[in-house]
Structure 1
Amino acid sequence: MQYIRDLDEKAYEYLANIAPAPWTRSHFTPRALTDCLVNNLSESFNAMILKFRDKPILAMLEWIRVRLMTRLYTKREGIQKYAGKLCPSIQDRLEKLKVESKAFSATPAGSFLYKVGTQYERHVVDLVKKTCSCRSWDLNGIPCKHATTVIYTNIQTPEDYTHPCYFKETYMEIYKEVLPPMPGQSKWAKTGQPAPLAPHIYKPPSRPPKQRKRASDKPRNPYKASRLNRPVRCGKCKKEWHNSRGCKAGITGETP
């Protein structure tokens, strides 16, 4: 917190009034098995349905249902061809940790208790409790680089110490359910009730926006040039402070 206070006093005061568990990894619970602080899942879903968000409700829901049906099938068929024990992304992450673990040395303090470190840092690893003082292993269930050093010292493999939620069998169990297809509207059951009438909607001028409204404090794209405080330039006479629609050069006979 002192580091945050040195950077920004207002940010320190804002975070000081919030419980640490929702915003700092040091207070996350290990039950969730994640150290993620972002909302990428909702952002990805919003980006996926962007093309059909302005459609009628039935057309939008049908498109989402078909999209999920095909995605579940793709995921289910793709993992069946994979021969590893862990999911591919987790295996790649573990391979990087194996390389990083080469810089550490392990000193036994008990049967499964080790001191791991270099000349710059030191950590305590317990293979029975599957914990490390860096808390990375505790939070996400994947052996950290310190635990990987200890596991290889015991002539074992880090894959055996990874949480079962990252196993291929667990992945297949999640995607085993099939989202069944549905017949068209012509095959739907008749209720005998009058058809609902569409509400009267006032259509404002201009094209309806499709982009999601961003918060005022959210940073803009640094690679996109902003038109703020830039003068308008006419495409006909090349002069500033008016556009081609309001250009009077072609009306009055003036030359640019």
Structure 2
Amino acid sequence: MVRLNNRRNAAAKWRCNVGPRIEKLLKKNATWSHDYKALQSSEQRFDLQGRGVACESGVISQHFVQLDMKSCTCRRWDLSALPCGHVIAALYSKGWSPDDFVSEWYTKKKYLEAYEVVINPIAGVAEWEKKDRSIAPPLYRRQPGRPKSKRTKEPGEEPLLAGVERLPKSYYSQITCGTCHQKGHNKRTCQRRNQVTTLTP
């Protein structure tokens, strides 16, 4: 709630039509726009010539700007929606402001629309109205589809062995013999019981 209000108050103090970060990027692009000369082809199209990356090899850098299509051959304006140095050089030749050619999503109007939602404050927990009604669980509704016949495995439970549909009880707990009280076998397979049975006439 406080953050949204602070954003709205900060946007009301903007000096131009765009935000401070966008204004800083436009000024950075404007610094190297003076290296280019704008040759106007039509009302919305310009040919920019000047010093660029290719200037070191003796070739003059040349770019084509279309203001009506918001496009430049360097592709910076097409990708970022911010006028590059070539576009700003063309705009300065006509006496136009680069702020008017920035995408509407960077404008002050769109910024205020994004934060126009107001979150109303509420009272503290101590001021809430108390209810004596108990909270009942939601009603059970049978889910569509055939019910599954196998139980859901718990986390960490080992899966079934390959080719075995049901694991023996001894897989989870070790049985205890009722005759000798030793673990690992039952009284039916107890060797002590078998010995007694063999010696009995």
Task: Provide TM-score, normalisation by structure 1.
Answer: 0.45
Structure whose alpha-carbon radius of gyration is higher: 2
SS at match of 1:77: helix
How much does 1:78 deviate?
1.5
Partner of 2:135: 193
Percent of aligned pairs sharing the same letter: 28
- Could you tell me how far apart the structure 1 residues matched to 2:89 and 2:103 are? 17
SS at match of 2:32: helix
- Could you tell me how far apart the structure 2 residues matched to 1:159 and 1:87 are? 10
- Could you tell me how far apart the structure 2 residues matched to 1:189 and 1:81 are? 44
1:78 and 2:78 aligned: no
- Could you tell me how far apart the structure 2 residues matched to 1:92 and 1:164 are? 17
SS at match of 2:47: strand
Change (3 A) 1:151 1:74: same
Please list, as runs of the form range in 1=range in 2, the aligned pairs for 1:115-134 lying within 5 A after superposition. 115-119=47-51, 120=54, 121-134=61-74
Which runs of structure 1 show a deviation greater than 4 angstroms over 4 or more consecutive aligned residues? 188-191
Give the letter aligned to residue 132 of structure 1: C
1:169 and 2:169 aligned: no
SS at match of 2:10: helix
- Could you tell me how far apart the structure 2 residues matched to 1:180 and 1:189 are? 21
1:90 and 2:32 aligned: no
Q: Deviations over 1:85-136 (max 9, x none)?
A: 2211111111111111011122223332222132523221001111111111
- Could you tell me how far apart the structure 1 residues matched to 2:14 and 2:130 are? 42
Partner of 1:149: 89
How much does 1:72 deviate?
0.8
Q: Deviations over 1:178-221 (max 9, x none)?
A: 122233445277462269xxxxxxxxxxxxxxxxxxxxxxxxxx
Structure 1's unaligned 5+ residue stretches are 1-68, 196-256
Partner of 1:136: 76
Partner of 1:14: none
Partner of 1:114: 46
Task: Provide TM-score, normalisation by structure 2.
Answer: 0.56
SS at match of 1:110: coil
Partner of 1:241: none
Change (3 A) 1:189 1:108: farther
State the Cα RMSD in Å. 2.2
Change (3 A) 1:105 1:182: same
